[in-house]
Amino acid sequence: MDCGYFHQRSDDFIDGELGYLEVAELQQHLSFCPDCAVELAQMSEVRGALAGWGRLELAPPPGFAERVRAAVELEQAADAARPFGRAVDDALDRLDETLGRVPLPGGRTIPVKNVIGWGLAAAAVAIGLERRHVRRSRELKPS
Amino acid sequence: MAASNLHKWATLPDPSSAELARAADGDAQAFTLIVERFQGMVYSVAFNVLGNHTDAEDAAQEAFLRCFRKLPQFRREATFSTWLFRLAMTASVDYKRHVKRQPEPAEVPELPDERSPDLGEGVTASTLTAALGDLPDDYRVPTVLRDIYGLPYQEIAEVTGRPLGTVKVMVHRGRASLRLRLRAEGVRPAAYPPGPRQRSDV
Average pLDDT over residues A63-76: 91
pLDDT of residue A45: 85
**Considering the domain boundaries, does residue B196 fall inside one?**
no
| Binary contact (A44, B199; C-beta < 8 A) | no
**Considering the domain boundaries, does residue B106 fall inside one?**
no
- Separation in Å, CA of B10 to nearest CA in chain A: 10
**Considering the domain boundaries, does residue B181 fall inside one?**
yes
Domains: count for chain B: 2
What element of type H or E holds A101?
strand A101-103
Cα–Cα dist B163/A109, whole Å: 9
Nearest residue to B97 (alpha-carbon basis) of B108, B107, B89: B89
Q: Are B34 and B76 in contact (CB under 8 A)?
A: no
Q: A43 falls in which pLDDT band (50, 70, 90)?
A: confident
pLDDT of residue B193: 45
With a cut of 70, say whether residue A143 has pLDDT above it: no
Residues 6+ apart with CB under 8 A from B198: A31
pLDDT of residue B161: 84
Task: List Cα–Cα distances, B167 to A102, A110, B182, in angstroms.
Answer: 17, 17, 22
Region of A63 on the Ramachandran plot (φ > 0 left; ψ -120 to 50 alpha; else beta): left
Cα–Cα dist B3/A51, whole Å: 8
Per-residue pLDDT of chain B in tens (202 residues, 90 and over written 9): 333 344 555 566 788 888 888 888 888 899 999 999 999 999 999 999 998 888 999 999 999 999 999 898 887 777 888 899 999 999 999 998 877 655 555 565 665 544 455 666 667 778 888 888 888 888 999 999 999 988 999 989 988 888 888 999 999 999 999 988 888 877 665 554 443 333 333 3
Nearest to A64 among B43, B48, B199 (CB): B43
Print the domain residue range for B47: 15-100
**Considering the domain boundaries, does residue B111 fall inside one?**
no
The answer to whether residues B96 and B123 belong to one domain is no
CATH number, domain with residue B148: 1.10.10.10
pLDDT of residue B9: 57
Q: Which residues of B touch A59 (CB under 8 A)?
A: 40, 43, 109-112
Which of A76-80, A95-99, B11-15 has the largest mean confidence? A76-80
- Separation in Å, CA of A122 to nearest CA in chain B: 25
Q: What angle do CA A96, B82, B7 make, to 5 degrees?
A: 140
The answer to whether residues B153 and B81 belong to one domain is no
The answer to whether residues B81 and B136 belong to one domain is no
CATH number, domain with residue B48: 1.10.1740.10
**Considering the domain boundaries, does residue B110 fall inside one?**
no
Residue B147: Cβ-neighbour burial (10 angstroms; 0-12, 13-18, 19+): buried
pLDDT of residue B196: 35
**Considering the domain boundaries, does residue B4 fall inside one?**
no
pLDDT of residue A95: 74
**Considering the domain boundaries, does residue B199 fall inside one?**
no
Work out the end-to-end distance of chain B between its first and last CA atoms, rounded to an integer number of angstroms: 17
**Considering the domain boundaries, does residue B171 fall inside one?**
yes
| CB-based contact, B124 to chain A, within 8 Å | no
pLDDT of residue B8: 58
Residue A21: Cβ-neighbour burial (10 angstroms; 0-12, 13-18, 19+): exposed
Inter-helix orientation angle A112-140/A83-99, to 10°? 110
Comparing A16 with B116, the larger pLDDT belongs to: A16
The answer to whether residues B96 and B124 belong to one domain is no
